[in-house]
Amino acid sequence: MARKKTISKNDLISWYMDFVLEHGEHPKSVFAFAKMYNFEEAKFYDYFGSFESIEQNIFTTFFTNTLKVLEKSEDYQNFDARNKLLSFYYTFFEILTANRSYVKWVLDRYKTNFKGLKIFSDLKRHYSDYISQLGIETLDLKQEKLEKIQDRALKESAWIQLVLTMKFWLDDTSPSFEKTDIFIEKSVNTTFDVLNIAPIQSVLDLGKFLFKEKLQMG
């Protein structure tokens, strides 16, 4: 049988996901994988350097597909940062649920070191960029170094929250994963309540005022 002359990135992803779900393991080699799905081995390397890079790309694809869905919604465009993030979570986890068997197979192997998974590296980068673009209000520290630290802390805490939610979802056995929906709502709302900087900013402004007054009086 003649080998397939043209294959797409999505073809490779689909075949890879099918293979691991049917066999419960990686293909033994790229050669064996190409032979099974009847394409030239060299075609694989047009898109990926290894099976691990496919796994990274699959999670990134889940993320980009989430944004594509959200960007089609006029309501989403008008949401504030809190509701945009909630919408992201609900949509992202719908996509994960549609691919739960694969996601569970991959992540069950990494339970001991979930947060720092290499297969999450691209996802983390894309998600951090998304968090930056939400326009979440933070403290006006008026010092570039402190603001950079604050920005990194916000991105890291947002990433940890996403990872914790994924772990919760993996262990969730409730119908339609309704407990995960509740967890998402409570955790995102709690985060934004903590980030409600209006009273904190007022305290800081008062502190600065009193400090200046004390210097002047002194």
- 95 and 158 assigned to the same domain: yes
Q: Decide: pTM greater than 0.85.
A: no
Average confidence score pLDDT of the chain: 82
Residue at token pair 């630290």: 149
Together in a domain, 36 and 111: no
Give residue-wise pLDDT tens across range 137-152.
Answer: 654 445 556 556 667 7
Q: Do residues 84 and 192 both lie within one domain? A: yes
Let me know whether 98 and 182 are in one domain. yes
143 & 202 share domain: yes
- pLDDT one-digit tens code per residue, 33-62: 999 999 999 999 999 999 999 999 999 999
Write out pLDDT tens, residues 157-171: 888 889 889 988 998
Residues belonging to the chain: 218
Give the residue numbers spanning the domain of 131: 80-217
Are both 192 and 108 inside the same structural domain? yes
**pLDDT, tens digit (0-9, with 9 covering 90-100), for 202-211:** 444 545 544 5
Please indicate, yes or no, whether residues 197 and 101 belong to a single structural domain of this protein.
Answer: yes
**Residues 54 and 48: beta-carbon distance below 8 Å:** yes
Q: What is the DSSP code (8-state) at residue 173?
A: -
Domain count, the chain: 2
Is 163 inside any structural domain? yes
